[in-house]
Amino acid sequence: MLASPVLILGARSDIGRALAKGYAAQGCEVILAARGDISADATDLALRSQAKVRSVSFDVTDGKPDAFFDALGVVPGTIVMVAGLLGDQAESAAHDEAAQKVMDSNYNGPSRYLLAAARRMASVPDACIIGISSVAGERGRASNFVYGSAKAGFTAFLSGLRNAHAKTGLHVMTVKPGFVRTQMTAGMKLSPVMTAEPEQVADAIIKAQGRKADVIYTLGRWRLVMAIIRAIPEPIFKKLSL
């Protein structure tokens, strides 16, 4: 059962938009939350789906999660945290402000917002919190360790939140995408076999919520790939260009 309304935090992203369409198609009320004015997206989705849709302003790095939820006017049944920032590894390594932005967008901000959400959702029937982490958080790699470390922290946070609420009935699900064809990965050379479309990710998330999965990979084959990467001994791993 999909608990409504569904609040999508980071609804301007490609995955966020695909999720909004998917939940609306399931008959859920949808609340789109993003930086700036996203009311046009809400109007378009409402017309196309006949679902109840509205939009609110949201900035995952603003440090005001309680104020956000107090102003929302409703306790969501489902929250999906899609907000995040890939950033540039070289820039993050060279400049503290760039590193802080990546860390705040992928760990500090999302975790604080979901903590605030959990305080309100623990008594909501069939409530579900879904966090979009990344396979990049499974092992530190030279090519993206600032982003990867933030996602590793977020993955650990989601695991702890899930176990903390095991007896309250609040379900917490971790999503670990690999490559996804989005604006964030535009210009990157992506393997067709290992790259998902936003709609595939959204469909996998909604189906996994229905069966109350704890952790999913999108695409599923990334589970095996990351198991192999985690198993590589550190002396060998340091010599690889990953």
User: How does pLDDT run across 13-26, given as a tens digit for each residue?
Assistant: 999 999 999 999 99
Mean pLDDT of 207-234: 97
Confidence bin at 200 (pLDDT 50/70/90): very high
Indicate the average pLDDT of the chain.
95
Of 127-136, 170-179, 191-200, where does mean pLDDT reach its minimum?
191-200
% of the chain residues with pLDDT over 90: 92
Which among 50-59, 180-189, 233-242 has the top mean pLDDT? 50-59
Give residue-wise pLDDT tens across range 73-84. Answer: 999 999 999 999
The pLDDT of residue 184 is: 75
Confidence bin at 241 (pLDDT 50/70/90): confident
With residues binned 3-state (H G I as helix, E B as strand, rest as coil), the percentages for the chain, rounded to 5, are 50, 15, 35
Q: 133 by DSSP, 3-state: which?
A: coil
Counting DSSP H helices and E strands in the chain, the numbers are 10, 9
Mean pLDDT of 67-71: 98
**CB 176, CB 151: distance < 8 Å:** no
Domains defined for the chain, CATH in brackets? 6-237 (3.40.50.720)
The pLDDT of residue 99 is: 97
The pLDDT of residue 236 is: 96
Give the single-character DSSP code of 107. I
CA distances from 9 to 20, 78, 100, 139, 208 (A): 10, 11, 20, 26, 19
The pLDDT of residue 187 is: 74
Tokens of 215: 């952790």
> Is pLDDT of 68 > 90?
yes
Confidence bin at 190 (pLDDT 50/70/90): confident
> Is pLDDT of 188 > 90?
no
Mean pLDDT of 213-238: 96
